[in-house]
Amino acid sequence: MASTYQPIAPITQPWNLYPQPVTALSFDPVSDTLWTGLDSGNVLAYYTPRGMRGVTYPVGGGLAVKKVITEDQYVRAVGVASDGMGSWNKGGVNKWYFRSSATVTTFSNTSSTSQVIAVSTTAPELLLLNALTGDAVRQVSAPSMISHLEFSHTSLLSGSMDGCIRTHDPRTGMRRDDGGGESTAKAHVGNIQGLQVSGNFVYTAGWGLRQGRPFLDPLVKIYDLRTFRALPPVPFSDGPAYINVQPKRQSSIVITSNQGLINIVDVSNPNKAYEFYHLDAPSFITCAAVSPTGSYMAFGDGEGVIHLMTAGDHDGDIPFNGFEGQPVEWADTPEPLPDIAWTDSTPLNSIGLPYYNNMLLSSWAPQFMTTKPHFPPPAKIPPQVISTMKMSDNVAYAPLPKELKGRRNMVVVGPRRDQARFRSGKLRRQDSEPETPTVETLPEEIPRVYSKVEIEYSKFGVEDFDFGFFNKTEYSGLETHILNCYTNSMVQLMYYTLPIRRLAKSHITTNCPREHCLLCELGFVARMLEDAKGINCQASNFCKTLGMLAQAQNAIELIDYGRDSPDMNYAHTIQAFHRFLIDHISSEGNSFPHNPSLLPSAFVGSPSSPAAAPITQLLGIDGKNVITCMNCKAVREKENMTHMVDLVYPRKIYPEDPTAQHDFVTILRNSLIRQMTHKATCQTCKQFSTFETKRSIPTRDLPAILAVNAAVYNEENFRFWLDSRRNRFLSPTMEVHGQIEGVDDAEAVIYELRAMVVQIVPKEGSSHLVAIVKVPGAPNTPDRSPWFVFNDFMVRNISEAEALSFPGKWKVPAVFYLERVDLRDELDFSALPDELDATILCTDTNISLNRDKSLIKHECLRYEELPRPGTLVAIDAEFVSMQQEEVEYRSDGTKKVLRPARLSLARVSVLRGDGNKQGVPFIDDHIHTSETIVDYLTEFSGIKFGDLDPALSRYTLTPLKLVYKKLRLLVDRGCIFIGHGLTKDFRIINVFVPPEQVIDTVDLYFIKERQRRLSLKFLAWFVLQENIQTDTHDSIEDARTALRLYKAYHRFEEEGSFDQKLDELYRDGKKHVSCIA
């Protein structure tokens, strides 16, 4: 380009009687467009250097537009008074709008490494938004209010009101501060006025102080990003108000003052003569911009005039973007109204109806027809009356029999229906399970099976809730009263994907060193769901581990704080969690170079090379990216491994195009071999050019399990999924072809849909997630399909047509798992370990640094003492509170439990149940936890502050996961557990023990007709003539007492006196009510 600029005709606002000041400018990088922000709060497009007026739209607030940034597909802007920032397409259609409780001060360009933009507010805080959806993915506080944000190739830079520039991690937004001050530099005394980044240099202009008054600092400061050290500044005596980088000369910057003085400086060569220009502007300059090729410079002033300067003598013939790019988008012209010749015989239906959102009264539909009568049917006439009835003039009459006198006009009140939800209030009659109505419903009406279910709490706690009322199948559901339980659907999806279940179950048999391991917890949940066989379970340890890991990695979008909001987008959250989960279980299950090979040898690239992580072998999509420079046609290849596919949809739907294919298989395949373009400097031709990237994946390399994120973020994408009259978008099986170097692979593989997670969006209230699973091995008969809905703890069988259907906007797709049919029976899991190491019961495990040997009360099992099926063990556990109970008090004085207190295992004691060492504990572990303990419950648990701290505890302290493995081993080896109140203990520990392996003294010493259960303390006093729990609870003492009560029960049974003893228990219990639980 030429070295000098010359002015050309400015762009004015002749249509506006009172021209609006131009407050922001941005050149379009791909079209001949200049985007302007006006003082009225509107964004206006000018096409070509001659200033043809184009699309305009408001950004909100009614005051000046503060900043405009234009990218290839989007225009983003923020106003001074707007309640957030938004993204629009080039035609003016809003894509998303992020609203903030605090005023947005500025935002950045899109990060070059990820689809993220940074936004700052007056809070002050810094947020990272998903550039495609506008959802907040990170939120961190800022030390000062930020006025400028820019992404460099390595960092996120911010300029603040305190005159400092700071570097932030572009992934988290956190400052990069190692204590040495490398992340912060004091550039100016006052606010940063301008900030630009080019290569390894950052340029700033700001405010200083002179005689106590602010003024523009006459120096443009320069910093080297590699060392964050100041370089010699550039002087500009007129006061630098705006800084822009010359794109073609990256070491040159354009400095502009408010008075219209322009200086182009080459900072790498200070001795080179500067270029000076002066604008003939009648008003002060309000903004400045340089075109992507440097061919144009634009300056807005306070009277609405845009002053243009161009390089060379083309006089505006070259487009703004420097080449013939995308055509400009004009606003759609509304269709003209039809010309109707109105006569007396013109039918009214030729006029048409306006658009409406609410259902019209004339639009009769099945939802207007009730399946039940509005009023109860009339009572049947008693037979005594019918037998004496007489007729007279079509009127029947009869005397009232004596046996019916006194019962006239009496209404029989039926029992409350919600009593069936509690075991304590169950009626004698058997309530049938709720079924989805067979009457055809509207597409927007949510069937009952998908509606949100919630646990209710009676005075007996959550154990009294009748989960069996909601699940009559042999497949277990998961409970919902736990933080992060939105992952229940994803856990069910992983569980019913058999290869992943096998990996998770195998991982818990290894010596995993991680305290918080999602793969371990997934394995424990899988074992629990296997054993439960239809009884409800809870994934409390899995949810707790997720919270700990997400907190540690600042993944705040994955953390559930227990506040249900109607605006919560669970589909987006579960897809983010899906990525988080796969990344973690891939690294947690990786034992490189000792990973077993799961795939057949025919599908392994090199038999001699070590196998990848097991999850990568199952889900890994091993592709090759072929990158082509469109300028010099240079080609390079790059290996690429991913674990999941995000669906990419066609930009627009053209129903009139018969060749267009928009079925699921086509979109899935296009997403697998996704073709992308980007701009960069070519290493071959040394030109800044466009690159085309194609992914090459042979069919044989497609994974055994294909994990798919639906990525439905807008209405346009969701239209693909909605059912049509002719067919459905989704099919149970699909044929997928790969691609080799741009040519379709002739070989094809068949994938079968195994499971999916969908979001249920009601018209009112918060949304939730459900899993729809084709259960492996489930019978497929005419009256029952293998498809089931797992709606938390409600499980229902549904037809395949209903499972694959998306009838309305209430059912939003999120995650899909497909199984490759030809590899299903070829996977080899024989090299995976499948048994827990039994010697952990013979090992004294302790992580306490100050254990007192005098307090060790247990003796580990010898190898010959390892339990066999039927071995008796006595057990008791103590707990601490991690979260207080959430209660709602009503105006009438009653209370409703919203969320019960969350307890965590603090101590567990297991005693020998028979033999020479009967009653001697072999496990007596205090459990270490890294969570904050709210209440030690010392009165009931005996646990005190410091007992669970490795640095302070004097007891045997063991990690929770190791204790869980010990209990899991006892369950697997067929031990019979004896204790008092074990149902609640096992529930909190989060382990399922088959009922035939549990002997609970609460149930042994219990008369069902009395309804009241006896406490351990009272039973010990009456049966054993001993006083226990005199000061506090001790788990060894309680377990030993339960064991002795069990022995006493057998002694009474042998003597034939147990029933008499039980009557005496309850008779004496009335005299000691306080001792009865």
Greatest mean pLDDT among 16-25, 406-415, 658-667, 794-803 lies in 794-803
| Total count of domains within the chain | 3
Domain of 179, CATH number, reads 2.40.10.480
Note whether residue 141 is domain-resident.
yes
* Cβ(113)–Cβ(120) below 8 Å: no
Average pLDDT over residues 906-917: 93
Q: What is the DSSP letter of 182?
A: T
* Cβ(230)–Cβ(267) below 8 Å: no
Q: Is 941 helix (H, G, I), strand (E, B) or coil?
A: helix
Looking at 566, 588, 610, the residue that finishes a domain is 588
Give the residue ranges of the annotated binding site for a divalent metal cation.
Answer: 876, 878, 985, 1038
Task: Give residue 204's identity as a one-letter amino acid code.
Answer: T
Lowest mean pLDDT among 328-337, 430-439, 834-843, 972-981: 430-439
pLDDT at 371 over 60: no
Note whether residue 1014 is domain-resident.
yes
Domain of 983, CATH number, reads 3.30.420.10
* Cβ(210)–Cβ(256) below 8 Å: no
pTM of the model: 0.61
pLDDT of residue 181: 42
Lowest mean pLDDT among 89-98, 401-410, 533-542: 401-410
Looking at 537, 560, 588, the residue that finishes a domain is 588
Strand 976-979 relative to strand 872-883: parallel, antiparallel, unpaired? parallel
Helix ranges restricted to H, 553-672? 570-588, 614-619, 664-672
* Cβ(977)–Cβ(998) below 8 Å: yes
Q: For residue range 774-784, list pLDDT tens digits in order.
A: 999 988 888 89
Note whether residue 800 is domain-resident.
no
Domain of 494, CATH number, reads 3.90.70.10
Note whether residue 878 is domain-resident.
yes
Tokens linked to 814: 């999120």
pLDDT at 547 over 50: yes
Looking at 588, 622, 637, the residue that finishes a domain is 588
More confident call, 661 vs 492: 492
pLDDT of residue 415: 47
Q: In degrees to the nearest 10, what's the CA dihedral of 337, 339, 344, 350?
A: -50
Note whether residue 641 is domain-resident.
no
Give the residue ranges of the annotated binding site.
Answer: 876, 878, 985, 1038
Note whether residue 391 is domain-resident.
no
| pLDDT band, very low/low/confident/very high, at 1007 (cuts 50, 70, 90) | confident
pLDDT at 969 over 80: yes
pLDDT at 1076 over 80: no
| pLDDT band, very low/low/confident/very high, at 212 (cuts 50, 70, 90) | confident
Average pLDDT over residues 496-504: 94
Give the containing element (helix H, strand E) for 801.
Answer: helix 800-804
Note whether residue 812 is domain-resident.
no
Q: For residue range 673-685, list pLDDT tens digits in order.
A: 888 888 888 888 8
Residue holding tokens 């049917």?
377
Expressed as residue numbers, the domain containing 141 is: 100-185
Note whether residue 720 is domain-resident.
no
Q: For residue range 31-52, list pLDDT tens digits in order.
A: 989 999 999 899 999 998 888 8
* Cβ(446)–Cβ(760) below 8 Å: yes
* Separation of alpha carbons 175 and 209, rounded Å: 28
* Separation of alpha carbons 827 and 942, rounded Å: 50
Percentage of residues of the chain with pLDDT beyond 90: 37
